Structure 1
Amino acid sequence: MDENLTDTMEDWGISEKTSFTGDDLINYSEYDNYNYSYNYSSDSCCGQVCTQHAMLSFDRVFQPVLYSLIFVLGLLGNGLVIAVLLQFKRTWNVTDTFILHLALTDSLLVITLPFWAAEAVHGWVFGTGLCKIVGATFKVNFYCGIFLLGCISLDRYLSIVHAVQMYTRRKPWVVQASCVIVWGVCFLMSVPDLVFLEAVKDDRRDGRTECLHNYSIDTAGQWRLFSRLLYHIAGFFLPSVVMVFCYTMILHTLGKSQGLQKRKAMKVILALVVTFFVCWTPYNVVIFLDTLVSEKAMEPTCEMQNFLDIGKTITSSLGYLHCCLNPILYAFVGVKFRNNLLDVLSTLGCNIKKHVRPVGRRGSNWSESGDTSYSGI
């Protein structure tokens, strides 16, 4: 056997007796799926390659059921939010625009879930082209969700804490431009998915064809580490720091205010942010542990890898469930949205009486700039 190849195998902890094909070696330890769930063929236990038979059985049952439920609820809920917002477009403020884009990005994200559910049952049968499109679509909308929440947080912080209007009614194009920039940046961050995602066979998963990142053997380590750092830093850590800082300062400022209306105006956005962290933090913890294992900072045993595989499936599903919760928050926390929704249902012939007081007029500069739409006022 070639000396360089033997040295590489020894670095991976694989003996020369391990059986695999040449193609398997080329793609060895270089696959990850759409949600950064890396399939490490390099993980070994007692000199044997770790297989995923138990994981496959778990995924075949768990993913199709839960993903189908999230798909239906997420599409209906976010579709309803978009419909209500468009119906009352003339009364929009800054936050309404961000919420519209947030509902749109959640809708596009859940549209990708049936493909991953089908992959869990039959493998990826849609070809490399659709693999790239679906994977990149998922990644764009995943990043957009947290970036839009970050934009909302920054706008609330400037308008409430510093009384600075980042967006005004006189320049409505500015908020639209901000959303376009967010979409553009997220698209750029998905370019590695467009380049490296392929429909490939994974012998560790019973030889099934799956939609995975297929890095070349020369650059596998660098690209894998880069994508993980991009996710950890830009996709979660930095936006989280921005949101925590902004809302800590906002709560401190509102705590000194005697206006009940201002405090109520924060309920929906705070609920959105708290829900985001509850849904996505467990997944990010598991992914961080998986990164430590992939970089050999932790011992890559079969037991550890199986634990991480199942953990990624469960916690990622909790994260996707976040797409269904935003519309529920609008309906049960936001008085304005609830009133507008009842108006829409009434025009459709539903005999529904409002049990909440209509939203009052905006009577201050703070209300124009710092008002959170769909708030509890």
Structure 2
Amino acid sequence: MSMEVDLHGLFENFSYNYKDYVYIEDPEDPESGGGTAVFISVLYSLAVAVGLFGNGLLLVILFLKRRSWSVSDTLILHLSVSDVLLLLTLPFWAAQAALLDGWCFGGFLCKLSGALFNINFYCGIFLLSCACLDRYLSIIHGIQSYFQEKPKLVPLTCLFVWVIPLILTIPDWVFMVAAKHSKQEKTQCVHNYSYFGTDQKLVYRLPHHILGFLLPTAILFISCSCILLRLQRSSEVLRTQRAFFKIILPLVVAFLLCWMPYNITLIVDTIRDSSRELGVLQPGHESLETALMATKVLGCIHACLRPLLYFGLCGKFRKRALTLLGCGEVEQEGSLWELGVGKEAPPEQNHNEREELKQMMTTMTDHQVQSAQC
């Protein structure tokens, strides 16, 4: 009887050539990592808590002084409403990052959340552009402030500011979908620009890049730069336009610091995808999904920063907020912001009125002296 056992070459020596072996790494979902998902969820939760509390307190103070409503209050109101709308969508984005299944709220909420994200950006940059342009025309060209001359038309201006974002967010309502990525099992609420069969990302992003970002940003930069140069040359203008340095300029700087990284990354992503379609770049170019996600989080956090800026920069608002939290009596008269827009008289007008009053008092005194001598 043969006792040999066939081991099928178990202990035989083989040599393999690994030179041609290529390791293909699966694309990593930027929100799939446990640490990243927890960090994003916590960050969104803090933004919601701080933002809703701050903006809620701001709205309460505004409506408590509704008898002395100014144009500045109207502008701040619309900015706050746009922030609240964005903050209400952050729990959904936090859940998408934390849940293993990703987005589980359906297609309608996906489209709504994507649209409100861009509406907040559009309203913020358009309203700030209007305020800076109004100051630019008043300080540089000596044109009577539009907001002071025709305050009743300000609500129409704000309505126009809301209509433009609604038009610019049509691509979000069309192309935002909740679907699984081709190489991932996690459902994502993302734009699908191949809705009509071809990827035309450049065509649908171009209005956002030009009308929503580049043009208003140019207005902000030009108007603010000219105002700063003028204020630097004239000490009198610098004294009377302290509100620009104190309120408007910090709001513009904070807005651009939070939103510019996202929009620049979005422009780079659009250019890269367009170049790939034209054959300039190979299909395997570096992905910008992680950068877009990080900068998007920064833009969302801005929704809770404005009330903190008001509290730190506006003494009257800080006083009324502390009074309201202490259940005290809130004053009903006066402007909270001193933005130089609205029914309140500008500093130049107050200065001129003081000079005229002094001249009138001097003239009356001279007449009295002459009468006494007679």
Same-fold status (TM-score > 0.5):
yes
Corresponding residue to 1:264 among 242, 248, 266: 242
Runs of 5+ consecutive residues of structure 2 not aligned to the other structure: 1-21, 331-336, 351-374
Deviations 1:335-375 (A, max 9, x none): 232233244345x1499xxxxxx98x96657469xxxxxxx
Runs of 5+ consecutive residues of structure 1 not aligned to the other structure: 1-45, 352-357, 369-377
The root-mean-square deviation of aligned C-alpha atoms, in Å, is 3.0
Whether contact under 8 Å (2:61, 2:320) holds in the other structure is yes
Corresponding residue to 2:55 among 78, 100, 116: 78
Deviations 1:270-325 (A, max 9, x none): 000011122122222322322232123674676821xx222222222222221222
Give the distance between the partners of 1:217 and 1:195, measured in 2 at CA. 8
TM-score normalised according to structure 2 size:
0.74
- For residues 286-325 of structure 1, what are the structure 2 equivalents within 5 Å? 286-296=265-275, 299=281, 304-305=286-287, 308-325=288-305
**CA displacement at 1:196 relative to structure 2:** 2.2
Whether contact under 8 Å (1:147, 1:182) holds in the other structure is yes
Give the distance between the partners of 1:68 and 1:53, measured in 2 at CA. 21
Give the distance between the partners of 1:239 and 1:84, measured in 2 at CA. 30
Instruction: Count the aligned residue pairs.
Output: 311
One-letter code of the match for 1:183? W
Give the distance between the partners of 1:236 and 1:363, measured in 2 at CA. 32
**CA displacement at 1:197 relative to structure 2:** 1.9
**CA displacement at 1:334 relative to structure 2:** 1.5
Corresponding residue to 1:158 among 117, 132, 137: 137
- For residues 14-29 of structure 1, what are the structure 2 equivalents within 5 Å? none
Whether contact under 8 Å (1:139, 1:190) holds in the other structure is yes
**CA displacement at 1:116 relative to structure 2:** 0.9
Give the distance between the partners of 1:176 and 1:249, measured in 2 at CA. 27
Whether contact under 8 Å (1:55, 1:309) holds in the other structure is no
Q: Secondary structure at the match of 1:258?
A: helix
Whether contact under 8 Å (1:228, 1:291) holds in the other structure is yes
Whether contact under 8 Å (2:30, 2:289) holds in the other structure is no
Give the distance between the partners of 2:349 and 2:169, measured in 1 at CA. 37
Corresponding residue to 2:190 among 212, 217, 233: 212
Name the residue aligned to 2:32. 56
**CA displacement at 1:62 relative to structure 2:** 2.6
One-letter code of the match for 2:112? I
Moved more, 257-266 or 147-156: 257-266
Deviations 1:89-118 (A, max 9, x none): 333432321111111111111111111111
Task: Specify the structure having the higher radius of gyration (Cα).
Answer: 2
Give the distance between the partners of 2:149 and 2:141, measured in 1 at CA. 20
Deviations 1:141-194 (A, max 9, x none): 221111111111112212222232343557433110000011011011111111
TM-score normalised according to structure 1 size:
0.73
Name the residue aligned to 1:191. 170
Whether contact under 8 Å (1:160, 1:366) holds in the other structure is no
Moved more, 271-280 or 192-201: 192-201
